Structure formats: C-alpha cells, structure tokens
Amino acid sequence: MSRPLHPKKEIEAALSYAEEEGWRVKIGGSHAWGRIHCPYNDNECRCGEFCIASVWSTPGNPESHARALRRVVDRCSTHQRRGETEPKN
Amino acid sequence: MEYIFTLKYQLTDRDNEPDALVERLGAAGCDDALVGVGQPGRLALEFSREASSAKEAIHTALADVKSAIPSACLIEASPDLVGLTDVADIVGVSRQAMRKLMLAHRATFPIPVHEGSTSIWHLAEVLDWLEKRDGYQIDAGIVETARVALAVNVAKETLRHPVSGRGDMERLTA
C-alpha cells in the first residue's frame, strides 16, 4: 500500500482506518484530495451516495472531517451485518 | 455549536460529473461537508456546520450548494424521515424496545407519514413525544436539527404540490 499520506494527521488516521476496513483510497483533485470507495459494491449495499465519499485537502476543521469519514465507514450496513468478517477482495 | 445534517440532491444529466462538482462545492465553502457521489445522478452532503442555530446552519448550507450547483434539486434534508431503527439508534435503545413502545401507545404515538412493511415518521415528532415521557435524554442539537429538516422538507413538498382547499382538508383529515 504505497499512496501519498494526507497532510492532516487526523484525516490520514481516518483514511488508514477506512483501509483497514477494506475501503480503497484514490488520490486526485484540487480542493479534493481524493476519495474513499466502499469495498462492498453490491445491490444490498445501503451506503448509497456515501459508497464513494470525497476527501478534502485542507478542510476548515480537519478533526470534524475525519470524524465524518469514520462515521461513513462505521455506518456501512454490509460492514455492520458481516460483523467481524473480512471483506472479500 | 456544530450541527450535523445531510442534504441529498438530484443532479441533471448536463451537470453530473462528480469530480467537477466536488471542486465547485469546495470553492463555495462546502468543505465542512462530506460529499457522497456513490450513486449516479445523486449527490449527498453530510454537513458538520458551525452555526448559532440549526436554522442558520441548514439554510446557509442550502444556499452554498445552490450557488455551487444551481441545477441541483433538493430531494431530502435529514435527519427527518425515519424508520423505527433510525429512531432507536438516535435515542440509544434497541429497535425492539422502540417498537414495543410504539405498539403500547398506538393512540398517542405520532402518526407516521407512511405505514406499511416499513413505516416512516418525522423524527422531530417522535423525539418530542419521547421527551415528554420520563427516562429519555435526547440531545437538544438533534431535536433542533430534526425540526428544521422537517420544515425544509415540508416547504419543498408544499412548493411542488400547493395545498388547495385547506379548510376542507383540515376538517376531513385532522
């Protein structure tokens, strides 16, 4: 896993957390730093719009943005249903 | 304080390139929102907005999105339309406990917006009802946010479907 680190440490920690939970991090953008992609791309997934969530480069409140990213990962319904099991890649 | 709410939009075919939209939102001051672009033709923004009231937070957010993407059409402001599971999560009880409470108070529990295999309520009404009972500590910020989200959704629906014969309808349905 060699990707550039996010300059804000709270956001980088949230991105690492998302990756541990199987999400993919993609880099690109200007105001945006990149995106996170939900690992479960199936019909039952109810993350909906937040299956792909944008990550800002320099949000006014990095702590708050990091919390929002973690919420999306934690709220993923397929993730909750599968509990401890690892996602299939 | 910080208000957390989600605005969901329908995008037009001409204005639906996610990367470009995200950049416009960033330039318009929406960097306090998590932008979701996982569904084609849809855009969701989960704001964590600092403001002196929920009304100020939600109304400035609506204005910021409109300035960035004038063609975007609001589908729904959340938290407002919820099922029992959502209410249970917010209040911090099990879904079963929430269902039991609803069934035990069918005559006074707020009427749902829709009743069926999945029923839907206005969150603000359910929280108000729960607050009048003992034993429920509900975050004041969520109640305030839910009331404003309800007002936004009702205003949006009323604009789409103006009410005619209000007096009659009140007599016949309330």
What's the mean pLDDT when you consider all of chain B?
Answer: 94
Nearest-CB residue to A60 (from B32, B42, B46): B32
- Residues B71-96 have pLDDT tens digits of 999 999 999 999 999 999 999 999 99
Contact map slice: B 47-86 vs A, CB within 8 A: 48, 50
B37 touches chain A (CB under 8 A): yes
b/e per residue, A29-52, with b = 16+ CB within 10 A? bebbbbbbbbbbeeeebebebbbb
Q: What is this structure's pTM? A: 0.92
Q: How far apart are CA B128 and CA A17, in angstroms?
A: 36
- Residues A31-82 have pLDDT tens digits of 999 999 988 766 666 668 999 999 999 999 999 999 999 999 988 766 666 6
Distance of CA B43 to the CA centre of its chain: 15
Q: How far apart are CA B94 and CA B74, in angstroms?
A: 31
A64 touches chain B (CB under 8 A): yes
